[in-house]
Amino acid sequence: MAAEREHEHVRVAVIGSGFGGLGAAVRLRRAGVTDFVVLERREAVGGTWHDNTYPGCACDVPSHLYSFSFAPNPEWPRTFSGQEHIRAYLERVADNFGLRQHIRFNSEVELMSWDPEELHWTITTGQGTQLTADFVVNATGPLSDAKIPDIPGLEGFGGKVFHTSQWDHDFDLRGKRVAVIGTGASAIQVVPAIQPYVERLTLFQRTPAWVMPRADREITALERRLHARVPATRHLRRQILWGIRELQVSAFAKHPRMLGLIEGLATGHMKRAVKDPEMRRKLTPDYRIGCKRILLSNDYYPALTRPNTDLVDSGLKEVRGNTLVAADGTEAEVDAIVFGTGFHVTDMPIAHRVKGADGMTLAESWSGGMEALRGCSASGFPNLMTVIGPNTGLGNSSMILIIEAQLNYMVDYVKKLEMLGGAAGKAALDARPEAVRAWNDHVQDRMRRSVWNTGCDSWYLDANGRNTTVWPGTTSEFRKVTREVRLEEYEVRRQVSKSGAAAPGARGGARGAAPVRVPRTGRSTAAAAFHAAEEG
């Protein structure tokens, strides 16, 4: 089969089969595009919901908002679903929409290069196969590659070491002395899940998190029947969940001082569970709530008060044999280390494997910080669109809403390429540097007044201290600014024949790809669209 697929050409290649990749596949089929493949590095669909199987793994977005609008699920068992339920949902999406025929499992992309003559991408996978694609959708996602800090002496540790996203289910933690490194979303789920059966649990906390109550409960059978038989009730529930979060955006993006009330609620939540004043001091953040991701848990604080749990108010500095040493000198003898230290979000590894029009990798292009037109298109990388790209993340709502907005953009992108290429030719769209710059400047300008830029050290910020992760607006705004591809923001290229004759509809007679000038509406096009969405 691999030999048969050597030199295969497809119209569209989608990388990844999480929410972004499966959503792209569904929308392509609905748009009449069936000549596409989905390249998945694992043996099954699900993306981050396939990889993360640690104890207690669950979503912090309400179930009825954490699903595709075109694939509602009236059977969610809980208001906040666990990993197993979300992965099962994605498996059903793959089945119900006939996507499996398009998916190539165990096919990690090792190299992807743009061919400026042929106007297509050449993709090499880990299986040694190669294919070409006119258009590529990068849906690998920011939560796909585990990030483990470089700790001196870690290689000499005699026990077990793994990241929460690479959980070793063959290693029994029962009766073991376990260290958990980090206090992010994964760590606060792992800690209460394993605390009851480990001998001793030591949590190394570099920075405390704001933790709010988790309004999780079982969804009754009556509710599920009602949602299945009367879809309007399911839709209403989703709209209410969405509307509440849209109203919260103003406090996060424009008026951080309004979040003081929420801090009071979070402080009260902690005080009800933690009676020791010294421990409360250690667990109280010194930054505005929302600057780092707000976490949801009802059992995290109680787990920290148990007799077999130690809270080290300092980050891990070094490892000496089986002894872990914190920055403040605290030592702990452990049998296993669990890293809950997040992912490569602002330095995505796949960027090192993507070579653009001038031979530069995407990582090199983004060395000063990630930026892309409307969170989708990077200049110098034609016909490449990133789902959940720079500044598309959310701090308070469902990423599925952002993904679906970007899929609207993707469908229009493909339609524009078809229109520009004509019946017998090819076309490519390369984001103009000035359009990318204008878009990014206005995003960063708006970011300055947001809670995410109030001074904390979060995974939203890159190595240069710039917030290249979060979208500083509502999901409604984002949907408006990604409704269509604006050709004036792109350099348009059409392929011409080797003889120099232009393909039907092409302009220019040079060999290879001929640039087509599209009238510009001014350098502020991106900014105008941004402000129009903000006002409308």
| In contact, 462 and 346? CB cutoff 8 Å | yes
* CA–CA distance, 533 with 536 (Å, rounded to integer): 5
Look at residue 515 in the predicted model and tell me its pLDDT.
54
In the chain, the amino acid numbered 238 is R
Strand ranges (E), 289-358:
295-296, 309-312, 316-320, 323-326, 331-333, 336-339, 354-355
500 with 507: CB under 8 angstroms?
no
* pLDDT for residue 501: 47
Ramachandran region, residue 247 (left: φ > 0; alpha: ψ -120 to 50; beta: rest): alpha
Nearest to 282 by CA among 270, 299, 292: 270
Domains identified in the chain and CATH numbers: 9-145+345-494 (3.50.50.60), 154-224+258-339 (3.50.50.60)
Which candidate, 395, 375, 378, 390, places its Cα nearest to that of 479?
375
Is 499 buried (19+), middle (13-18) or exposed (0-12) by CB count in 10 A? exposed
Contact in structure between 492 and 505 (CB atoms under 8 Å): no
Dist CA 52 CA 59 (whole Å): 11
- Distance of CA 238 to CAs 63, 243, 295, Å? 9, 9, 21
Which of 78, 48, 47, 83 lies closest to 63 in space, CA to CA?
A: 78
Which helix (H) or strand (E) segment holds residue 454: the answer is none
> pLDDT tens digits, the chain, 536 residues: what are they?
444 455 799 999 999 999 999 999 999 999 999 999 999 999 999 999 999 999 999 999 999 999 999 999 999 999 999 999 999 999 999 999 999 999 999 999 999 999 999 999 999 999 888 999 999 999 999 999 999 999 999 999 999 999 999 999 999 999 999 999 999 999 999 999 999 999 999 999 999 999 999 999 999 999 999 999 999 999 999 999 999 999 999 999 999 999 999 999 999 999 999 999 999 999 999 999 999 999 999 999 999 999 999 999 999 999 999 999 999 999 999 999 999 999 999 999 999 999 999 999 999 999 999 999 999 999 999 999 999 999 999 989 999 999 999 999 999 999 999 999 876 679 999 999 999 999 999 999 999 999 999 999 999 999 999 999 999 999 999 999 999 999 999 999 998 655 444 444 343 333 345 555 444 444 445 556 555 555 54
What does the pLDDT read at residue 536? 47
Residues 6+ apart with CB under 8 A from 219: 63, 76, 77, 78, 79
Residue the block writes with tokens 């179930």: 63
Is residue 338 within a helix (H) or strand (E), and if so which, with residue range? strand 336-339
Query: For residues 90 and 184, what is the distance between their CA atoms, to the nearest angstrom?
Result: 25
Residue 210 has which token pair? 């704001």
**Predicted confidence (pLDDT) per residue in 449-506, tens digit:** 999 999 999 999 999 999 999 999 999 999 999 999 999 999 999 986 554 444 443 4
In degrees and rounded to multiples of 5, residue 246 shows phi and psi of -65, -40
Alpha helices, DSSP H, located in 31-158: 48-51, 83-96
Three-state SS at 7: coil
SS3 368: coil
- The C-alpha atoms of residue 256 and residue 268 are separated, in whole angstroms, by 20
At 417, the amino acid letter reads: L
Other CB atoms within 10 A of residue 169 CB: 8
Query: 26 in the Ramachandran plot: left (φ > 0), alpha (ψ -120 to 50) or beta?
Result: alpha
Instruction: Give the pair of three-digit tokens for residue 280.
Output: 């409360």
Helices (H), 422-536: 433-447, 475-481, 525-535
The pLDDT of residue 157 is 97
Nearest alpha-carbon partner for 301 in 327, 282, 316, 328: 282
Element (H, E) at 311: strand 309-312
* Helices 525-535, 433-447: crossing angle, 10 deg rounding: 40
State the Cα–Cα distance between residues 530 and 536, nearest whole angstrom: 10
Alpha-carbon span 436 to 443, nearest angstrom: 11
DSSP secondary structure code for residue 61 in this structure: S
Q: How far apart are CA 72 and CA 125, in angstroms?
A: 33
Check residue 185 and report its DSSP letter.
H
What b/e sequence results for 71-109 when a residue is b if at least 16 CB atoms lie within 10 Å of its CB, and e otherwise? ebbbebeebbbbbebbbbbbbebbeebebeebbbeebeb
pLDDT for 127: 85
